[in-house]
Amino acid sequence: MTKENSNNIKDMFNKISPRYVLMNKLMTFGQDRYWRRELIRLSGLKDDNSLLDVATGTGDVIFEAIQNGIKLNKITGLDFSTGMLDVARSATRNNTADPNLKEINWIEGDALKLPFENTSFNVVTSAYLMRNVSDIDAAFTEQYRVLKPGGRVACLDTTPQAKSIMSPFINFYLIKIIPFLGSLISGNKSAYTYLPKTTKAFKTAEELQNIMIKTGFKNVSWKKYMFGTIAIHWGDKEGPTDE
């Protein structure tokens, strides 16, 4: 992907940011929340950990971690879209109940060049990032670099579906219904034709696993959801875990 493409992606997310959360809920029948909760569970995040959520967007992975009652010692959400981060920041301002929310660092930056020192975080998560980057290897290499030894990376994204009896229905939903809903709700049909197009062209779960292994991650595993259209991958950086 060229620089121009990455600017197009940034513009696209800036445009859809006001309706992004609502559109997610509608098109996934509310399942998006469950998948983020699974991402947190499989990331092994626990009290006193430091968390980096890359491509945090409107911050929903972080909010899910906090709502699960995990008391983190450092919380950072990074994204390159100002529009998406503005929604995250205002969600934080509007919810003053949890002191954890005040501690979140929302940072504008590029997933391919993370602005953090080596070995900074216990856990690095990302949801729906890898499909958008020009260089998946580089994105995982950066995540590996900023992880502490013994830390874990966990990645949630759509995944190309294997052919099954459900395929015609799933394709109809992805290719017809989602873009229709997208134009209705967010006024941006092209952003929601981008989703099925990039999903189809994306790495299979096995290919993504191999990239993670090549990057250096150990114990790499994955789990699929929603008729095999969503996958969560996770893997560890070798070393003793912080206690």
Ligand X SMILES: C[S@@+](CC[C@H](N)C(=O)[O-])C[C@H]1O[C@@H](n2cnc3c(N)ncnc32)[C@H](O)[C@@H]1O
- Contact window for ligand X (CB under 6 A) among 2-10, 158-166, 186-194, 222-230: 2-10
Residues numbered 129 to 148 that lie near ligand X (CB under 6 A) are 129, 132-133
For ligand X, give the closer residue by CB, 23 or 212: 23
For tokens 């950086």, name the residue.
237
DSSP conformation letters of 111-165: TTB--S-TT-EEEEEEES-GGG-S-HHHHHHHHHHHEEEEEEEEEEEE-PPPP-T
- Give yes or no for residue 79 binding ligand X (CB under 6 A): yes
Smallest distance, ligand X to C-beta of residue 142, A: 10
- Contact window for ligand X (CB under 6 A) among 92-100, 122-130, 213-221, 228-236: 122-130
Smallest distance, ligand X to C-beta of residue 243, A: 29
DSSP conformation letters of the chain: --HHHHHHHHHHHHHHGGGHHHHHHHHTTTHHHHHHHHHHHHHT--TT-EEEEET-TTTHHHHHHHHTT---SEEEEEES-HHHHHHHHHHHHH--S-HHHHTEEEEE-BTTB--S-TT-EEEEEEES-GGG-S-HHHHHHHHHHHEEEEEEEEEEEE-PPPP-TTHHHHHHIIIIIHHHHHHHHTS-HHHHHHHHHHHHHSPPHHHHHHHHHHHT-EEEEEEEETTTTEEEEEEE-SSPPP-
- Give yes or no for residue 66 binding ligand X (CB under 6 A): no
- How many Cβ atoms are within 10 Å of 109's Cβ, its own excluded? 14
Smallest distance, ligand X to C-beta of residue 165, A: 28
- Contact window for ligand X (CB under 6 A) among 41-49, 128-136, 169-177, 206-214: 128-136
Applying CB under 6 A, among 43, 49, 76, 81 the residue interacting with ligand X is 81
Smallest distance, ligand X to C-beta of residue 4, A: 13
Smallest distance, ligand X to C-beta of residue 77, A: 9
Binding mask 184-203 for ligand X (x = CB under 6 A): --------------------
- Give yes or no for residue 234 binding ligand X (CB under 6 A): no
Binding mask 22-61 for ligand X (x = CB under 6 A): ---------------------------------xxx--xx
- Give yes or no for residue 112 binding ligand X (CB under 6 A): yes
Positions in the binding site for ligand X (CB under 6 A): 6, 9-10, 13, 55-57, 60-61, 79-81, 84, 110-112, 127-129, 132-133
